[in-house]
């Protein structure tokens, strides 16, 4: 089951969605749900930590 942030809007058409799988985490864009990729739990944890530190903030 894919989940999205509680900060997402009700329209839900511009969100990154994540789901746990048997071996890791699946990630997809709500605008193109048929396209998804998987990462390890450790890799996803590093991504989230970097995002929290502002690593991906736009200038």
Position 7 scores a pLDDT of 78
Report the DSSP beta bridge partners of residue 36: 28
Specify the pTM. 0.77
Task: Kindly list the distances between the CA atom of residue 28 and the CA atoms of 33, 38, 39, 45, in Å, as whole numbers in the listed order.
Answer: 6, 9, 11, 16
Cα(17)–Cα(13) distance, rounded to whole angstroms? 11
- Domain locations in the chain? 3-52
Position 12 scores a pLDDT of 61
Position 1 scores a pLDDT of 92
Position 41 scores a pLDDT of 96
Per-residue model confidence as pLDDT tens for the chain (59 residues)? 999 888 777 776 778 899 999 999 999 998 888 999 999 999 999 999 999 999 999 98
């Amino acid at each position: 089951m894919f989940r999205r942030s509680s900060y997402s809007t009700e329209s839900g058409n511009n969100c990154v969605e994540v789901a746990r799988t048997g071996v890791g985490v699946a990630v997809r864009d709500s605008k193109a749900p048929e396209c998804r990729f998987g990462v390890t739990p450790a890799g996803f944890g590093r991504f989230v930590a970097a995002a929290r530190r502002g690593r991906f903030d736009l200038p």
